[in-house]
Structure 1
Amino acid sequence: MRRATLGSMSPSQLNTRGATNGRAKGSRGSLIPRPPPAGASNVIKPSRPSMGRRSSMMGKGSGTQTETRPIGDRAFQQDCIRNLCNYLTTHGYVNAVSPKVLQAPSSKDVTSIIQFLFHQVDPNYKFMKIEEDVPIFFKRIGYPVQISRSALYAAGSPVSWPSLLAALTWLSQLLVAMESSSEGPDFSPFDDVRGNLLTDYINENYMNYLAGKDDEVDRLDEEFRKQFVQEKEKDAAECEQLQATLNKLKEEMQRAKNEMSPLVALETKKRDFQDDIVKFNQIITGFTAHKQALEKKVNEKRQELTTKKEEVLNTLKENEELKETVAAQQINAADVEKMLKEKEILDVNLQSLMSRKEELEKAAWNFEVQSSKKLRDLETKVNQFNDSCQRLKPTTGEDSHEAYQFEIKLQPRADTPDEILGGTLKTVLKPGFTELMDTCRKRLTEELEPETLKLQQQIFSREIAGRKKAEQIAAATAHIKKLEAQYNVRMDKLNAILAAKIAEREEYEMRTVTEEAEFRKLQVDVEQRLRELQVELDNTLRICQEEIEFEKNEGTEILEIILSTKERTQAMLKRVTDVSIQSTQVFHELLLSP
């Protein structure tokens, strides 16, 4: 409803916002500006009249200002990186982007981000030279700080990147604000109850004034003033409530920034679980190696047990044979004592004979080896043999009546071995040595009688050794069974622990994956909700501030207009009254005149 009674006043006098209701409710303005007409400059203009109204949003600003933001602060840079990264990831930026990349981006990354943001403003924008286009673009959209061209030649350097990062973050926030304002409803002060009350008040008060009802006019003025004060207090309370909500959201946002991220906690927990898995694998490997070593020892013990059993059987068999041999002999205690004494004597003699035997065997072996080498060695040995025969005992000597001619006369030119040895090998040497060997054998047979005592002693010692071995085998068998039982118990416990740990590890892995997915989803939802609340709060504060300013200015101007209209009406009525009085006087004068 338009106020026809105030039609003579201009919008500038009423401080109305004609652009506020510039489009129908429910329609959405485009973020992309229309292409300029032919001959127009390539200045980026907003698609919505409400956005063109404020120079802080779009359009040319009041001029270049000095940078007041702490662009060199590390925390400010991190906030800018986080906001820019969120905008790029949520608006379809095709290249890989992360806070780590935005810490020190390359010139190629910076160029790609600038082109993406510029195309968000104008999809038809064409780049000619980035060092020249970027300063002009930011100047035309109202960025208050001048961007140096020299900074764009090394865009990713630590000196140039902070200022450029602040500019790109400002542009992304501008785009978010444009999206939010284009999606929100239009605001008009005359579409709500206040506008209707003001219109009704003006119409009714003006009619009362024309009717001359001054008391009613004063009453309506007082009522409207009270209603205006109440609405102002209500708006102030709403602003305080919104400010408290804003402070609470800022505290929650700061607390969320300061607190440790759940993702970091889950990653730490995951690393701990992975370390536990590595430790468990090492323990399993150690137990497996220990198990193999124990199995190897068990197999060795079993083999030793089998060998010991065979030795015991052999020993028992030998003992039985020796017992049978001893049982077949008929001896008494005196014979045993005598045998022991003779045994001692025979041991001494046997020891000397054994050493002599070893010497003879060694000499025979050396003689046999040397005799096969050369013929002259044979002659040397024959001479040695002849010399040895000369040194025999008298019973076998050359002058004895039982003497044999053992001398060999070597014939090197003979054809057969017998002839080489002088032809006495078969006729003289062999019979003589045979008779000598028989004599020696007979003497040895007589000397073997003490061997019985030696065998008895061996039987007793072997019986004792067999009993000891049987006891050792029994103890070893019991120990092996005990070890096998312990091994089986340990293996059962180990298998149960391993199965439980494997199940626990699988459960932890599944839980970790689920929690990571839920946390990522929750983080995205929270960040999206925070952005929506921030944008909604900014819009609400802006609308409330504009509404308060508008109501204040409009009420003041309306009161001034009413007062001025009242004064003009009173002056007009006074003039009419004066004219009426003058007319009455003139009429009376005319009546009184003849």
Structure 2
Amino acid sequence: NPLRSIQNKPGEWKQRNSMNEAGTKRRQTITHAAGKPRNSNAPRASYAPNPRNSLAPNVSSRASLAANSSRASLSMRRQSSIGGRFQAKGNDARKQSEANIRKIIEFLSSRNYPSHVSFKLLAQPTVKDFHDITIFLIREIDAGYEWKAAPEEEIPKFFRQIHCPFTLNKSSLRSVGSIATWPTVLQALGWLVDLLNYNLAEQDSRFQSDDDLHQKLFFDFLSVTYQQFLQGENSYDALEAELSEFFQERNSKVSESIADISSENEAMLAEIQKLKEESKKIPTMKKKLTDLTCDCRKFQTMVSEWERHETQIRERNTALSEKLADANEQLETVQKEQQFVLAKLDKQEMKSEDVQRLYSDRSGLQQELQLVMKHHQSLQVQSVELEQQLQSAFDNVQPLLHQYNETATEMKLIPSTAKYAEGYSFEIDLRPRNLHDDSYTIEIKKDIKLNIMKLRETFKLKLVEQDEKRIQLQHLLEQETEKLQDKQEEGVESQRQLEEALRQSEAQKKHVMEEYQEYQGRVNQLREQTKRLAESSQSDLADAIQAHQTIEK
């Protein structure tokens, strides 16, 4: 077989074809995970079709393969999406920090970092550890980077040069391990590691394109045909047929791949259209869900009130049953005593002493009855007084309850469907008819105060979160203030340079004016000399003319 690139390296072509088929299967799995199953045995093309019409090498593509590992090439990628600014909060921010730490540890381990690096060390590093890690990463980008000042000044300068999206300044690097500073610095280091990994991946995959394959085939084909030409061959039909067969096989695989991808696209478009149609129902469903949620909360409140009322009735029924049982026992005891007394009276004979004793007993009972009546009257008087005191207390409490309900309404705690009520009714409704209702109870300490304390803890947590946000904003304000100071210092320096330039220009202007005046004086002197010379020459000429005339005469 004259095509050495196909004959001598069959394993390489098989390996590349198997890698592309594995990538195709992964795309099939991702695309059809939520849709219809597809035929996984369908052949896929190893390479994308090449639109070139000839086998001539692409000079521009080979020129683009030159390696460029300078820091300037890294700084031109500042528009990429690697290491974009995250506004993650809470758990997302913590997960992002942990991911950045793992990423930095993996990169340092793979690049043979000389010191030991652990998760605990990067969770709250010292200034020295941060300097060592950052200097190591900078040397990975530019081994000949010149350190003209302290790391606190050079590191922010370097990050600005490579257009890092995260702002670092000298003041933040002095306390790099603080809670307010380290997350931003950690994101900047993660962005730098992503940039290095991207650069390494780009260099590794730079010579694995289809252009390399086509160029190698072209040069091998050219070499074999030229050898045959030197041997006297004028026809290369076998080589062209073999090369055409190779490209036809690749083109057929590419066509099958295109067909599969087209079917996948159609299925995805159908699914997208179906999802769009279903998304139109979302506002109606959300509104219905809101209504059902409100109704559910109302029913839950009603059920809890009825359950509480049922519990109170059962407790009252139990108490009354116990009282009834006690009264029945007392009634049985009295009936037994009555029967015993009646039986005793029937058996004994009445005597005058018994009659006297009965009279004395009746008088004693009458006296006890009078005492009981007096006690009953005193109890009635006390009841009236207690009723008046209760009414007075009710009158005093009613304004306070009214103020409490108004305040709770303003704080969005009333009614139970309010913003901060969370389904619980904080309202206290005390009316005159409830004063004589034994079943009416208000558990202020147990229910209302407990829920208010929970609400207070919730507001405390929100206050802590707002304080953290305020600290972050204050830190950003300090950074912006420092930037403003830097700009002001640059403006002052520019003003000073401008004033110096103005002074120099004034001095030059003064010097030029002095030279001009000096030249002007010289010109005036020359003009006077010229005038005198002209006058003297005219007088001499007149004398000469006169003398000439005299001689002629």
**When the two structures are superposed, what TM-score results if normalisation uses the length of structure 2?**
0.27
Q: Pick the structure with greater CA Rg.
A: 1
**When the two structures are superposed, what TM-score results if normalisation uses the length of structure 1?**
0.25
